[in-house]
Amino acid sequence: MQAETALQADSKLVKRNDIRNVAIIAHVDHGKTTLVDGLLKQSHIFRENQQVGELIMDSNDQERERGITILAKNTAIDYRDIRINIIDTPGHADFGGEVERVLNMADGCILLVDAAEGPMPQTRFVLQKALELDLQPIVIINKIDRKDARIDTVIEETQDLFLELATSDSHLDFPILYAIGRDGVAMYKPDDERKDLQPLFDTIVKTVPAPEVAIDAPFQMLVTALDYDDYKGKYAIGRIIRGRITPNTQIARINREGEVSRQKINLVMSYKGLQRTEVSEAIAGDIVALTGIADANIGETLADIDHPEALPSIEISEPTLKMTFGVNTSPFSGREGKFSTSRQLRSRLYRELETNVSLRVEDGNTPDEFVVSGRGELHLSVLIETMRREGYELQVSRPEVITHEDENGHLTEPVEHLVIDTKDTYMGVLTEALAIRKAQLTNMTNDGSGNIRIEYDIPTRGLIGFRNAFLTLTKGNGAMSSLLKGFVPWMGKINSARMGALVASELGTAVTYGLSNAQMRGDTFIEPGTPVYEGMIVGLNSRPDDLVVNVCKEKQKTNIRSSTSDIAVRLTPPILMSLEQSLDFINNDELVEVTPKNIRLRKRYLTQHERARMRSREND
């Protein structure tokens, strides 16, 4: 995308046939990162004997563990003397901010669609953003070797999506390729020889427009990403809109408020494969990483010192969920983390704002609390998990939706479009569970083989905690995804369907005898030997009310029985919950305590006396 300015209009535009800038976009798990693996390997950027593994671009630990792309990244490959800059974007709606900030570096996009699933909610989101920026699309029907592939139907659904979203006639004139990303093959027709990805390379060169740029105009670049290393400091990453840049050059930095400061570029680095290489000059159309600007932020403009003109800043969609992050106040505070003070927590959260463009952080009601807003539960839980691994200790509240008031002063809330793929035998239980959550059925299709796709409009707060229930109701035989649709008038109270909690009554260590008694009342979350404290949630009651239990209670010795006779007691294995499951589980009067070693559930008020007093206040 070219930024039209008066200076650029006066300068001579040059077509750079030696470069192509393309973004790869798709719904989560449609094979995008695997396809990028194939492009990197077949472009021969690695040594013949180099071990590079799989999911090369998912370099982050959490990305590999979760099997999703979280951060947008760019790489570059050379094909027949043409540099192809590839921007790999996340597929999950919660990381839409990553997509929005990097798409403006591209001139074209490759839209991946699963041959069985077809266009999904995130497919619509990423395609809409790409077409708004006038990127030239290439469509790839991926995973055509799946037994349940329905290629012709998926092409029709994709074409319908383009008809709905296209903003110009050129968007409807797109090539369609067929691929098996895992095998590293792409074909012009499904029955063609399955050889390599050369058809895709050729289509990129032919379809993605070469950038037309003003090389002799004054320098201008929008910062769309940041990186950091201990040796060279902060990298400001972006595409040069016009002009050229060389190392050791004085430039102007224009922040979001329009303030101009003088900065010096130390190094200019270009991409080749997974590496950054120093170059003596970069010109308009190149994607580069610049060092030396320690206080650069995403959305700021770097420009010629004599022509400090700002580019339009990146527009990012507003967050929909918020959580309260606070200093850990449990009796175990400070035992397991390196960073546990409010000053350290505040510094880390505000530092995250530099790179996490769709995040918002505000000071809370007390100096020890911070309100953090994001795109969804996954977006916020990835941040919590990252901080946990860095050594931070904190407590977080249940996610809440962010409401707005319309022009008439009426309260509105976010609503999402939910798509569920599952077996038709689970239709009844899902309909019942979603009706309680104020969901409205909008579409349902059945493939005749027992598989159904059901679509709902559901308030965002109705989705909080639903993922766990969904996996239970469908016995793991289903997939769900959602996308923010807009804001609607407040839909009324949603009653919690969760049973009460089993709450520990005292500080100590859980023992088999105490847990055995607790398991008569419900399901437990901890094992014998686990340290507990008063107010810690140790299980789920079989009744709606909370129940205080003593899991530290040992069997008393008598002259007939010894205290070790309970070794023979058989306990039901505990339910161990992940961070996301914990956030889904808790109610408004509960918190998740997060430390580098443990994730614990607890009551907001730890003692029975405090909880009783708060209940009486609420009832008054």
Q: Are residues 147 and 179 in the same domain?
A: yes
Q: Where among 432, 460, 489 does a domain terminate?
A: 489
Q: Are residues 141 and 194 in the same domain?
A: yes
How far apart CA 55 and CA 50 sit, in angstroms, is 15
Q: Are residues 243 and 268 in the same domain?
A: yes
How far apart CA 333 and CA 533 sit, in angstroms, is 11
Q: Are residues 194 and 226 in the same domain?
A: no
Dihedral in degrees, nearest 10, Cα atoms 125, 130, 132, 135: -160
Residue 352 lies in a domain: no
What would the DSSP string read from start to end of 373-412?
EESSHHHHHHHHHHHHHTTB-EEEE--EEPPEE-TTS-EE
Q: Are residues 252 and 157 in the same domain?
A: no
Which residues lie across from 594 on neighbouring strands? 394, 599
What would the DSSP string read from start to end of 467-481?
HHHHHHHTTT-EEEE
Residue 400 lies in a domain: no
What CATH number corresponds to the domain at position 208?
3.40.50.300
Instruction: Say how far residue 14 (Cα) sits from the centre of its chain.
Output: 38
Q: Where among 212, 232, 266 does a domain terminate?
A: 212
**Contact indicator for 239, 320 with CB cutoff of 8 Å:** no
pLDDT of residue 448: 75
Angle at which helix 198-207 crosses helix 32-42, to 10 degrees, equals: 100
Q: Are residues 208 and 224 in the same domain?
A: no
pLDDT of residue 49: 44
pLDDT of residue 72: 65
Q: What is the mean pLDDT of residues 297-301?
A: 85
Q: Which amino acid is at 305?
A: I
pLDDT exceeds 70 at position 52: no
Give CA separation, 414 vs 148, 315, 375, 405, 487, in Å: 34, 19, 11, 11, 4
Pick from 207-211, 319-323, 436-440, 497-501: least confident: 497-501
pLDDT exceeds 50 at position 142: yes
**Contact indicator for 515, 528 with CB cutoff of 8 Å:** yes
Q: Are residues 33 and 83 in the same domain?
A: yes
Angle at which helix 427-436 crosses helix 466-473, to 10 degrees, equals: 160
pLDDT of residue 176: 92
| Secondary structure, 3-state, 31-93 | CHHHHHHHHHHHCCCCCCCCCCCCCCCCCCHHHHHHCCCCCCEEEEEEECCEEEEEEECCCCH
Residue 206 lies in a domain: yes
Q: How many domains does the chain have?
A: 4
pLDDT exceeds 90 at position 165: no
Q: What is the mean pLDDT of residues 499-503?
A: 91
> For residue 353, which phi and psi values (nearest 5 degrees)?
-65, -25
Look over the chain and give the mean of its residue pLDDT values, rounded to a whole number.
83
Q: Are residues 506 and 589 in the same domain?
A: yes
pTM of this prediction? 0.79
Q: pLDDT category, 121, cuts 50, 70, 90?
A: confident
Q: Are residues 230 and 105 in the same domain?
A: no
Which residues lie across from 434 on neighbouring strands? none
What would the DSSP string read from start to end of 473-508?
HTTT-EEEEEEEEEEEE----------PEEEE-SSE
As a whole-number percent, the residues of the chain with pLDDT over 70 amount to: 89
Alpha helices in 103-249 (DSSP H): 121-132, 151-165, 198-207
Give the residue ranges of the annotated binding site.
Answer: 29-34, 142-145
Instruction: Say how far residue 582 (Cα) sits from the centre of its chain.
Output: 18
Q: Are residues 197 and 225 in the same domain?
A: no
Q: Which amino acid is at 453?
A: R
pLDDT exceeds 60 at position 565: no
pLDDT exceeds 80 at position 339: yes
Residue 54 lies in a domain: yes
Q: What is the mean pLDDT of residues 485-499?
A: 82
How far apart CA 332 and CA 339 sit, in angstroms, is 14
Instruction: Say how far residue 227 (Cα) sits from the centre of its chain.
Output: 18
The residue written with tokens 């505040």 in the block is 346
pLDDT of residue 7: 45
Give CA separation, 43 vs 125, 186, 196, 201, 226, in Å: 30, 14, 11, 9, 26
Residue 243 lies in a domain: yes
Residue 7 lies in a domain: no
What CATH number corresponds to the domain at position 262?
2.40.30.10
Residue 393 lies in a domain: no
Give the residue ranges of the annotated binding site for GTP.
Answer: 29-34, 142-145
Q: Where among 489, 511, 537 does a domain terminate?
A: 489
Give CA separation, 487 vs 322, 389, 405, 468, in Å: 16, 35, 10, 25
pLDDT of residue 46: 47
Q: Are residues 175 and 230 in the same domain?
A: no
Q: Are residues 144 and 164 in the same domain?
A: yes
Residue 284 domain boundaries: 220-303
Higher pLDDT, 203 or 56: 203
pLDDT exceeds 60 at position 3: no
Strongest mean pLDDT among 72-81, 151-160, 557-566? 151-160
Q: What is the mean pLDDT of residues 258-287?
A: 87
pLDDT of residue 595: 93
Residue 4 lies in a domain: no
Pick from 27-31, 90-94, 308-312, 511-515: least confident: 90-94
What CATH number corresponds to the domain at position 412?
3.30.70.240
What CATH number corresponds to the domain at position 594?
2.40.50.250
Nearest alpha carbon to residue 33 among 2, 61, 64, 9: 64
